[in-house]
Chain A
Amino acid sequence: MKRQEIKAQLLKSQLVALRAQMNPHFLYNVLNTVQGLVYGNRKTEAGELLGNFSDLMRKTLQASDKQLLSLQDEIDNLRLYLELEKARFDGGFDYHINLVNLDDLSFVYVPSLMLQPFAENAVKHGLMHKKGDKEVLIQFEKEVEGLKVIIDDNGIGRVNSMEINKRSKNKPFSFATVALNERMNLFNSLYKQKITCRIIDKVDEMQQPLGTRIELLIPDYTHDPDAL
């Protein structure tokens, strides 16, 4: 594929990713939660939720023409998204974002619309069906080869999640996951340095699932002469 073609494909994949992120189900879930908070007379929380929701919409739309986003912006987006999920679960779900070896987040760049789908998968497939405490840990660490990103959940694991999807006759792989892989491939055909992605199925000594851990290595795009 020629570079020009890849860039065109990348724009298309961005649209697909945007549509996946702003899917009606997500929007309805947020609004349902607001309705519940209103009837529960929890006005402050309802107000906060609406504020977070508007911020996420605004930021997502503003950045919709960018292929690379500063890590600061991406973390802001992740935080807003996870706050919305937290409100929806109404306790029982929490998240942590850790930074290791990073000081200035505005000069580190990550591909846009790539990390939120991983976080969403952790919530939707890993945590939604889990009883008890649900947690997502997201860690960013600067390494020599690039930025290491860990998305770690303590959910039911991929095998169980696929079982549930099979029983309810859902598609085993979501639309968002397919779009995500394609987007990663496009970035990799455009740049010399590649994004790598490892999926680790965590288990205990008895081989029982403990959740899923994603390890991404995102190259340092600012040093790439062909940076967008």
Chain B
Amino acid sequence: MPHAKQSYLRNSMQKISAIIVDDEPNARRALRGLLEENFSQVEIMGECKSVPEAVKAINRFKPDVVFLDIAMPGYSGFELLDFFDEQHLRFRIIFVTAYSEHSLRAFETSAVDYILKPVRLEHLARALKKINIEEPSVSSESRQYQVLKENFTNQLDKKIVLQTAETIFVVRMEDIIYLQAEGSYTRFYTTSHGVLTITKKLIDFEFLENNGPFFRTHRSYIVNLNHIKKVDKKEFILMMSNDAEVYLAQDKKNLLLEKIIK
């Protein structure tokens, strides 16, 4: 694919140094091969097969990027972060994982970048493009890593990262009362953060339904089932724990009742 190759190299002036962390030699080989053949701006400083090896290599080479597998013997990829304090996180992480769909939802809620194994050129290009080594926004990222780690390990106390132009909010799922569509924005009504307006469409948060007690009751609303106080079956209106009224689409009524009664 000579054509594709050129386009990946267009912004190749800036060198990116990287290390690859994966316990499986073939996984490392694949990623190295993909990078060497298609991304000449990436310089691979080393390969590591465990987290302790990676800690040493990071301290030695100070790479811009760490390609990090999650399921490894001994320490999991997430535990790499425990070896560095927030101020010393001078590298970006791109998680490389073969995890199943279920686990990937944890990524969706954390906004941390990941690529799937077997690795595809296009995904690798997208992840590398996002990396701006001039400006490593260290502290905000490390908070996101923490959220990601918690979501992976603790299924009960899940959190979601919500970003506005100025601020990053970490909101516990159980503190979300409901979401309301507002054109191409979404309003989060929460018990912990008040109202947050996020520049994403409601449909972008539909994954919540698979992630907790959330249900889309109407084209403009997703509600937390645990925050429903009252269902008006005749008027198709729900009253939430903050006394706000939320619409219920007629065709969603039976499904909702089923979920609440269960």
In B91-128, the 8 Å CB interface with A consists of 98-100, 117-119
A33 and B73 form a contact (CB under 8 A) = no
Judged by a CB distance under 8 angstroms, whether B136 is at the interface is no
Least Cβ–Cβ distance between B68 and chain A, in angstroms:
15
Judged by a CB distance under 8 angstroms, whether B183 is at the interface is no
A168 and B26 form a contact (CB under 8 A) = no
Least Cβ–Cβ distance between B16 and chain A, in angstroms:
19
B29 and A25 form a contact (CB under 8 A) = no
Bitwise, B33-57 to A at CB < 8 A (1) or not (0) is 1100100000000000000000000
Judged by a CB distance under 8 angstroms, whether A40 is at the interface is yes
Judged by a CB distance under 8 angstroms, whether A128 is at the interface is yes
A35 and B153 form a contact (CB under 8 A) = no
How many angstroms between the C-alpha atoms of A31 and B119 in the bound complex? 10
How many angstroms between the C-alpha atoms of A88 and B117 in the bound complex? 14
A38 and B30 form a contact (CB under 8 A) = yes
On whether A169 and B29 interact (CB within 8 A), knowing A36-B24, A90-B24, A129-B73, the answer reads no
Contact of A28 among B34, B74, B98, B154 (CB under 8 A): B98
Judged by a CB distance under 8 angstroms, whether A39 is at the interface is yes
In A150-179, the 8 Å CB interface with B consists of 164, 168-169
B118 and A32 form a contact (CB under 8 A) = yes
Judged by a CB distance under 8 angstroms, whether A225 is at the interface is no
Least Cβ–Cβ distance between A157 and chain B, in angstroms:
14
Look across to chain B and name the residue whose beta carbon is closest to the beta carbon of A26: B98
On whether A36 and B28 interact (CB within 8 A), knowing A28-B117, A168-B76, A168-B153, the answer reads yes
Contact of B29 among A24, A28, A29, A39 (CB under 8 A): A39
Judged by a CB distance under 8 angstroms, whether B171 is at the interface is no
B76 and A35 form a contact (CB under 8 A) = no
Least Cβ–Cβ distance between A43 and chain B, in angstroms:
13
- Give the chain B neighbours of A29 by CB distance below 8 A: 24, 98
On whether A32 and B117 interact (CB within 8 A), knowing A40-B26, A169-B153, the answer reads yes
Judged by a CB distance under 8 angstroms, whether A82 is at the interface is no
Contact of B30 among A25, A39, A164 (CB under 8 A): A39
How many angstroms between the C-alpha atoms of A29 and B98 in the bound complex? 7
On whether A25 and B74 interact (CB within 8 A), knowing A32-B30, A35-B30, A90-B25, the answer reads no
- Give the chain B neighbours of A164 by CB distance below 8 A: 74
B24 and A35 form a contact (CB under 8 A) = no
A129 and B32 form a contact (CB under 8 A) = no
How many angstroms between the C-alpha atoms of A24 and B99 in the bound complex? 9
Q: A-side interface residues toward B, CB under 8 Å?
A: 24-25, 28-29, 31-40, 87-90, 128-131, 164, 168-169
On whether A128 and B73 interact (CB within 8 A), knowing A25-B98, A28-B117, A39-B32, the answer reads yes
Look across to chain A and name the residue whose beta carbon is closest to the beta carbon of B36: A39
Look across to chain B and name the residue whose beta carbon is closest to the beta carbon of A131: B73
A36 and B98 form a contact (CB under 8 A) = no
How many angstroms between the C-alpha atoms of A169 and B103 in the bound complex? 13
On whether A33 and B100 interact (CB within 8 A), knowing A39-B32, A40-B29, the answer reads no
Least Cβ–Cβ distance between A120 and chain B, in angstroms:
15
How many angstroms between the C-alpha atoms of A33 and B27 in the bound complex? 7
Q: Could you give 12 example pairs across A and B, Cβ below 8 Å? A: A28-B117, A31-B117, A32-B117, A36-B26, A38-B30, A38-B33, A39-B37, A40-B26, A88-B26, A90-B24, A168-B76, A169-B154
A35 and B119 form a contact (CB under 8 A) = yes
On whether A32 and B26 interact (CB within 8 A), knowing A25-B100, A168-B153, the answer reads yes
Given contacts A35-B118, A36-B28, 12 further A-B contacts (CB under 8 A): A24-B100, A25-B99, A25-B100, A31-B117, A32-B24, A35-B30, A35-B119, A37-B29, A40-B29, A89-B24, A90-B26, A169-B154
How many angstroms between the C-alpha atoms of A36 and B119 in the bound complex? 10
How many angstroms between the C-alpha atoms of A90 and B26 in the bound complex? 7
A32 and B100 form a contact (CB under 8 A) = no
Contact of A36 among B25, B99, B100 (CB under 8 A): B25
- Give the chain A neighbours of B98 by CB distance below 8 A: 25, 28-29, 32
